[in-house]
């Protein structure tokens, strides 16, 4: 097992992509255990042979189609209308747009890339610093994987066998709390006049149309949740329904999408899905080697180590996964560690949905932390900002969002109340 970690660290250190570093390290572990390399492709196939994972490419496609169908501009205009006249209003609009965009993208990276092109480049023209604009965008993008639909939750459901629709419902309150934490930092920053007052050129005549367009966009996640809960379709089938709904909105309602845009969305979705599934498949090999090495018995002993103290256990998991998230993509980390930690949490009597939200939120935070935080570097590239300057600007938001995770650890009902209400 030690050789596996050494191999992975060396491969990651010399710049090998995470998927290949995981796969090669897993192969090294297979050889060390005395097995043939024939088991590598079989384990990789097993890792992605899941009906739940079939919905991931559909949700990715729905987000891409919505983004190319003129949705982003409409959402931002409506968010700016809601925050018009407030000090720091455009920063609040950024957060509101992240909430609504989360309901169509399902990923933090798509949120950062789409909203960043407008807010990171536009907010400095109103008097904001580039670093603050990029920090608000990157911090707000953490809402993307939490408010349904969520690609990370689909991967988690496949790894833990927790109901994906329960995960979707569980993410609503934590997602709104993340948004509130970002808004609180903006409020504190602007309280003493540190931020400009928002101005928008939206006319009253545009308001009804903007409201209708926004309702049509917000109806997508509601359509998925209500349709699944009513038994009209499964969570996997809901992905296909969401993709068709997004295409109809782009072509028929908004009329901003053409065949070239649809083809581009299909190509990007195929590439994103391929890279995601490759990471999951490679991580499955590493998880298999860890199981062969007896790590299950070690993790099972954690119950005795923590003496049944669930809060202490959750805090330890949070700290460990914050460190893991700095180096691993969330999907890979879920495949590696959830099958090990989830049974322990269940045996300690921890609510499965509470534990799931803590894991997903904590690993998502790795997307804005160096050295491999993808959203961090996307925001840096869009704003042409040095990494460490953005990290400094992100720290207040990072701390505020960590407080949300701590709140979920201390108050289990925040993640389980909404699923319980529907059930």
CA angle 352, 357, 358 (to 5 degrees): 100
pLDDT of residue 318: 93
> What CA–CA distance (Å, rounded) separates 94 from 74?
13
Q: If you search the block for the tokens 């060390």, which residue do you land on? A: 32
**pTM for this prediction:** 0.88
> Which residues of the chain fall short of a pLDDT of 70?
1, 193, 198-204, 206, 296-303, 423
Closest CA to 58 of 98, 104, 97, 101: 104
> What CA–CA distance (Å, rounded) separates 325 from 360?
10
> Following DSSP, what letter does each residue of 144-175 receive, concatenated?
TTTSSS-HHHHHHHHHH---HHHHHHHTHHHH
Residue-wise pLDDT tens digits, 294-328: 776 666 666 677 777 889 999 999 999 999 888 88
- At 129, is the secondary structure helix, strand, or coil? coil
Instruction: For the chain, give percent helix, strand, coil, nearest 5.
Output: 80, 0, 20
> What CA–CA distance (Å, rounded) separates 115 from 156?
26
Structural domains in the chain (count): 1
pLDDT of residue 203: 64
Q: If you search the block for the tokens 């907010």, which residue do you land on? A: 123
Q: Are 137 and 124 in contact (CB under 8 A)?
A: no
Residue-wise pLDDT tens digits, 125-177: 888 888 998 999 999 999 988 988 888 998 899 888 888 888 989 999 999 99
pLDDT of residue 402: 95
> What CA–CA distance (Å, rounded) separates 350 from 279?
29
> What CA–CA distance (Å, rounded) separates 343 from 339?
7
Query: Whole domain around residue 211: which residue ranges?
Result: 2-422
330-350: string of b/e by CB count within 10 Å (b at 16+)? bbbbbbbbbbbbbebbeebeb
pLDDT of residue 175: 92
């Amino acid at each position: 097992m030690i050789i596996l970690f050494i191999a992975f660290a060396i491969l990651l250190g010399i710049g090998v992509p995470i998927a290949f570093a995981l796969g090669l390290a897993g192969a090294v572990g297979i050889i060390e255990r005395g097995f043939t390399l024939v088991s590598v492709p079989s384990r990789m196939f097993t890792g992605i042979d899941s009906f739940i994972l079939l919905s991931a490419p559909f949700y990715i496609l729905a987000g891409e189609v919505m983004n190319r169908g003129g949705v982003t501009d409409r959402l931002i205009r409506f968010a700016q209308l809601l925050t018009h006249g407030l000090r720091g209003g455009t920063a609040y609009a950024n957060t509101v747009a992240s909430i609504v965009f989360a309901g169509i993208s399902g990923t933090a990276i798509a949120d950062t890339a789409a909203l960043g092109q407008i807010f990171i480049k536009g907010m400095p023209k109103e008097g904001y610093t580039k670093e603050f604009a990029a920090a608000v965008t990157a911090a707000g993008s953490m809402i993307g994987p939490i408010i349904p639909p969520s690609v990370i939750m689909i991967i988690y459901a496949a790894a833990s066998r927790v109901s994906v629709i329960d995960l979707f419902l569980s993410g609503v309150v934590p997602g709104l709390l993340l948004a509130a934490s970002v808004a609180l930092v903006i409020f504190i920053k602007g309280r003493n006049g540190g931020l400009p007052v928002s101005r928008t050129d939206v006319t009253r005549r545009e308001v009804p149309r903007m409201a209708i367009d926004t309702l049509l966009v917000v109806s997508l996640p509601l359509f998925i949740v209500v349709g699944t809960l009513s038994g009209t379709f499964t969570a996997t089938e809901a992905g296909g329904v969401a993709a068709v709904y997004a295409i109809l909105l782009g072509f028929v309602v908004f009329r901003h999408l053409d065949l070239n845009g649809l083809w581009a969305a299909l190509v990007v979705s195929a590439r994103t899905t391929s890279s995601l599934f490759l990471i999951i498949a490679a991580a499955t090999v590493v998880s298999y080697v860890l199981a062969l090495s007896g790590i299950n018995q070690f993790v099972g002993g954690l119950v005795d180590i923590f003496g049944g103290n669930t809060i202490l256990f959750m805090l330890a998991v949070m700290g460990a996964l914050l460190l893991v998230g700095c180096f691993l993509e969330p999907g890979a980390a879920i495949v590696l560690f959830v099958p090990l930690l989830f049974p322990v949490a269940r045996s300690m009597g921890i609510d499965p949905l509470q534990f799931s939200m803590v894991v997903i939120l904590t690993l998502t935070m790795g997307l804005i932390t160096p050295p491999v935080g993808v959203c961090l570097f996307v925001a840096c590239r869009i704003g042409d900002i040095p990494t460490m300057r953005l990290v400094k600007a992100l720290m207040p938001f990072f701390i505020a969002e960590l407080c949300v995770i701590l709140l979920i650890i201390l108050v289990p009902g925040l993640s389980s109340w909404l699923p319980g209400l529907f059930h």
